[in-house]
Structure 1
C-alpha cells in the first residue's frame, strides 16, 4: 500500500531523531475507516504496520510487504483489530466513590458527592487521594480498550489536588485531554490559599502548561468551565482568552436543561462569540436541546457528549439528543457509579434508540417495524470516529494510514466471540464483547495492555487505592451520606419528588 507524501515526510523526521517504534500486527480482521466515504471498511487477514506513533500501512495476505529485521511482529490472526475507543466525558478522579452511588439520582449526587460538596472539597480528599483515584479510574478505561479520554477534572479545589490529578492522568499512559475545571468552591480546609478561586485557577493552568510535565506524555491540558452566562463578564472573557493563549485542545462544559436549568447553552456561547471558533467545544449531556441549539451545533461543527448510562441512572433524560447524533460522541461520566467501558455505552445507546423508535411505532401508531432504525456500525462510529471529530482530530478514533496508532485488539476465540467475528466483526465488538476480550491496547504505537494484562504494577496501584477508598468511605458513613435521598429545591422545577419503588418480589416488600 502506498503511503501519503505527508506520512513519508513524518516517518523520515522520526527516523532522523533515532529509533522509533516499528510494530506489525499480523493477520487480523481490521476495522478500518474510509475518510472519503465516512464509513467503516472491514479488511480480513490484514496486517497493520506501525512506525513511531502512526499507522504506516495496511497489507493483506497477498501483499509483497515484508517487515524489516527490526520490526516487532505480533500475531493477531483470528482476532479483531479496532481503533481505540474515545470517552468524550469523564470525571476520572472520583473512583473512590465506587459502591456509594449505586441508587443515587443527580440531585442526590450533586448534593452529597459532587465536586463542590463538603465530602469532596472539604478536606477529606488529599492530593494523594486524587492522584490514585485519577490513575486507577483511567487504568480501568485502558483495560476496557479506551485509548482517549476527555476528562472534566473538577477536583481543582486546591493547587495541590489540581496538580495531582494531572500527574495521575500522565501516569495512566492514556491519551487524556485533562480539562482543568475553573469554578468556585466553598471555603474549606482543602486549600491553604484563602484567596483560591477562578482567577488563581487560571494562573495555575498557565503555570502547569509552562511547567510542561505533560509534554513527554500523551496527556494535554484543556479547560472545563461551567460558569459561562450572559451577559458577558470578565471571567468568561478571561477563560476563553486563556484557552486561546495556551492553545487548548478542547473546552468542555456541562449542560442539562429542562427542569434542571441551563437551557440554550449553544445559543449563549454563540451570542458571546465563543461557539464559532477554532476551539473544539464539547457540551456534556445536553439533554434538552432546542432546534436552534441543534442548528448551531451543526453549523459550527461543535459536539455534545452523550453519556447514556449516566443519563439513565441519574434521571437526566434524552429529550432531544437523538436528533443531533451526527454531532454527538459517547462518554461514561461518573465511572464510580458504573463501568468505564465505552462499548457498554454504545450498546446501551443503540438499544435505547431502537426502543425509542419501536415504542412510537408500536404503541402510538399501532404498526410493526420492518427494519431496524440504527445499526451496529453507527453505534461503533459514535464510540470511535465521532470522539475524534469532537476534538477535531481526524487522526483519532480511526484506523487509517497516517492516523495515531491508538489500537485495541479483541480476542475472537472466547465463548461469546467465537464465530461472530468472521461474519460481522463490528457486531462482535458492539454486541458480543466484554472487557475480558480486550487482548492488546496500544497508545501512540506503544503497548499499554498486552495479552490481557495492563502493563503497570496493578498490585501497587490497587493497594494504595483501597487504603484511600476506605478512608473516604468512612468519612461518607460518618456524615450519614450513603442511602440518603436529597429532598428540597433543585433547579427551576422546585422541590425534588419522591418516586415509588419498582416491585420485583411477591408479597410484602419490593426487593429494593
Structure 2
C-alpha cells in the first residue's frame, strides 16, 4: 500500500457533508477526503490523505492535495473523516431473482436447479411485471451497498415480454449494467431462435444505444454439445450487435454440468477477439485452462458465498486469482454486498492456506492474503475482467463511479488503514453516498431514485404472490442421479441442541 500526496491545488472554504435533493450536479468537489485508488505503475493500492476530488459530468477530472479554485456552479462536499473508494464491481449476478428472497435459505445446488433456477416451474411462472420489480429491487440492493457496476447473467425470461421487462429495469435502475442476455435450451414456448432474435433486437434498441450505463452482452451455458449453426449464429450476433461482454457458467467436474472451459471456447476462436469472456465460478478449472486465461486475458468470476451456500464449492479459484474477480451471484439467498464477498473470500482463502500449514505440523507466521488484495479483486480486477480500464479506479479520466464511507461510525472510527476499515470493519450502513456516472444514486444513506417507495410497495405485493405459488408447488424428493449424471447424496446434518432434537 502506498500513501502519497495528490496533485497540488489552491485552498478554498468548504461546506459540511450535507447532501441536497438533486440527483446530479454538473460538477462536484469532494475536499479533505481519504481517497483509495490503484496505481497502475506501481501495481499497488494507493492512499491519498486530505485530498480533493473533482467530478465534472460523468468523469473524474482531477485529484488534488488541496482544493482547486472553482466556479459558483460547483457543489462542494466536505469529506473530512470520510473514505472515498471506487465503486465496487460485481462480475456475476442474476438480477431478476429478488422476488424469491429467503425461499432458499437452506438450499443446495441440486435443489436450486429443481426449484429456483432458470428452468424451474416457479421461475417460469413469475410475471413480467414481477420480474421488472425484482430486477429493480436487485439493483437498489447493489447500489445501496456501493456496487456501481454489475455483469448481469440475465436469466429468468420465459418470453419476450419477461425478457423486455428485465431489460426495462436495467435501463431504469441507475446501476451500470453489462446486461448479458441469456440464451438457453429447453425454455417452453421460447425457442433458441426466438431468444437469439430477442438479443438482436435488444442490441439495436435505441434506448440501450442512448443509455451510457447499459451495454449488451451474451450469456450462454451450452457451448459443449451445441450445434455449430447455433454457436456460429451467436458469434454473428456478438460481432454485428457490437456486444460488450460474453459470460458463461463454468463448473464441470463432479457436477457434469456447465462444461464451458476456456480450452473449448478457445478452440471455437471465441477468446481471440476484443470482447471479454467471463467464466463464472471456474469450479474445476485445470492448469491448461488457467494458462489460456493468462495468455488470452480473460477472467473467472469468484462467487464465494454462492459456491459455499449451494455446495458447488471452490477448490481451485485461489490458484487463478491473477485472472480473477469477485461476484455476489444469487442475492435472493444472501445479501448482495461486494464488501461482504471480498471479506468472505479473504477469510476463506486465509483459512485454506493456514490449514495446509497446520496439517504439515507447522504454525503460520504470515498471512497468505492481504486486505489490499481482496479490495483489488472487488474493484480494479472487476474492471479489467470487463475490459473497462475507466472503472474500478479513482483518477483523472475515470468514470465518476465512487463510494463515500463514514469513517466515524461506531465500527469504523479510529481507523488507520482505510482499506482494512472498508474490507474488515464496514457495513452497508457505513455507505453514506454513491455516485454512478457522476449521478448521486445514494445520498445521506438514502437511495435517490424518485419512485423507490412505489417500486418497493409493488415489489412486496409481487413477492407475496410468488411465495404463495411456491407454497402450493409439490417437489419430488432429491434422490437418484442429478441430471442423469452424478449420484445425489445426503450430507450429515448438524445438531446444535443438547438432548432431543437437532434445532435444524
Give the TM-score normalised by structure 1.
Answer: 0.91
The question of 1:204 aligning with 2:205 is answered no
Match of residue 15 from structure 1: none
| Separation in 1, partners of 2:179, 2:142 | 14
- Structure 2 counterpart of 1:411, from 393, 406, 409: 406
Q: Secondary structure at the match of 1:356?
A: helix
Q: What aligned pairs does 1:211-360 form with structure 2 within 5 A after superposition?
A: 211-214=205-208, 215-229=210-224, 233-261=228-256, 262-263=258-259, 265-360=261-356
The question of 1:508 aligning with 2:500 is answered yes
C-alpha displacement at 1:489, in angstroms? 1.3
1:406 touches 1:441 (CA, 8 Å); kept in 2? Answer: yes
The question of 1:107 aligning with 2:102 is answered no
| Separation in 2, partners of 1:34, 1:334 | 32
1:78 touches 1:412 (CA, 8 Å); kept in 2? Answer: yes
1:156 touches 1:180 (CA, 8 Å); kept in 2? Answer: no
Match of residue 434 from structure 2: 441
Match of residue 424 from structure 2: 431
1:180 touches 1:224 (CA, 8 Å); kept in 2? Answer: yes
2:222 touches 2:259 (CA, 8 Å); kept in 1? Answer: no
* Structure 2 unaligned regions, length at least 5: 1-5, 9-23
Q: What aligned pairs does 1:452-467 form with structure 2 within 5 A after superposition?
A: 452-456=445-449, 457-467=451-461
| Separation in 2, partners of 1:117, 1:492 | 17
The question of 1:498 aligning with 2:501 is answered no
Match of residue 369 from structure 2: 374
Q: What are the Cα deviations for residues 434-484 of structure 1, in whole angstroms up to 9, with x where unaligned?
A: 000000000001100001000123321111001100101101100045xx8
| CA RMSD of superposed structures (Å) | 1.7
The question of 1:468 aligning with 2:459 is answered no
C-alpha displacement at 1:231, in angstroms? 7.4
Match of residue 37 from structure 1: 42
Q: Secondary structure at the match of 1:213?
A: helix
Q: Secondary structure at the match of 1:394?
A: coil
Match of residue 17 from structure 2: none
Match of residue 59 from structure 1: 64
C-alpha displacement at 1:170, in angstroms? 1.4
1:34 touches 1:400 (CA, 8 Å); kept in 2? Answer: no
| Separation in 1, partners of 2:502, 2:381 | 41
C-alpha displacement at 1:172, in angstroms? 1.1
| Separation in 2, partners of 1:60, 1:177 | 34
Q: 1:182–1:20: structure 2 CA closer, same or farther, 3 Å change rule? A: same
The question of 1:391 aligning with 2:386 is answered yes
Deviates more, 1:223-232 or 1:372-381: 223-232
Match of residue 154 from structure 1: 155
C-alpha displacement at 1:495, in angstroms? 2.1
The question of 1:174 aligning with 2:167 is answered no
Match of residue 6 from structure 1: none
Q: Secondary structure at the match of 1:177?
A: strand
1:33 touches 1:399 (CA, 8 Å); kept in 2? Answer: yes
Q: What are the Cα deviations for residues 7-54 of structure 1, in whole angstroms up to 9, with x where unaligned?
A: xxxxxxxxxxxx982111111100022121222110011111011211
Q: What are the Cα deviations for residues 68-114 of structure 1, in whole angstroms up to 9, with x where unaligned?
A: 21111111111000000001000010101111100000000011111
Q: Secondary structure at the match of 1:374?
A: coil
Give the TM-score normalised by structure 2.
Answer: 0.93
| Separation in 1, partners of 2:496, 2:87 | 39
2:94 touches 2:153 (CA, 8 Å); kept in 1? Answer: yes
C-alpha displacement at 1:493, in angstroms? 5.1
Q: 1:220–1:323: structure 2 CA closer, same or farther, 3 Å change rule? A: same
Q: Secondary structure at the match of 2:442?
A: strand
* Structure 1 unaligned regions, length at least 5: 4-18, 188-193
1:361 touches 1:368 (CA, 8 Å); kept in 2? Answer: yes
Q: Secondary structure at the match of 2:185?
A: coil
| Separation in 2, partners of 1:141, 1:186 | 28
2:152 touches 2:179 (CA, 8 Å); kept in 1? Answer: yes
| Separation in 2, partners of 1:69, 1:441 | 23
| Separation in 2, partners of 1:207, 1:274 | 22
1:152 touches 1:178 (CA, 8 Å); kept in 2? Answer: yes
Q: 1:91–1:396: structure 2 CA closer, same or farther, 3 Å change rule? A: same
| Separation in 2, partners of 1:110, 1:135 | 24
2:203 touches 2:242 (CA, 8 Å); kept in 1? Answer: no
Q: Secondary structure at the match of 2:85?
A: strand
Q: 1:297–1:466: structure 2 CA closer, same or farther, 3 Å change rule? A: same
| Separation in 1, partners of 2:443, 2:477 | 43
| Separation in 1, partners of 2:291, 2:205 | 40
C-alpha displacement at 1:186, in angstroms? 3.6
Deviates more, 1:216-225 or 1:346-355: 216-225
1:264 touches 1:289 (CA, 8 Å); kept in 2? Answer: no
Query: What is the total number of aligned residue pairs between the two structures?
Result: 481
C-alpha displacement at 1:491, in angstroms? 4.9
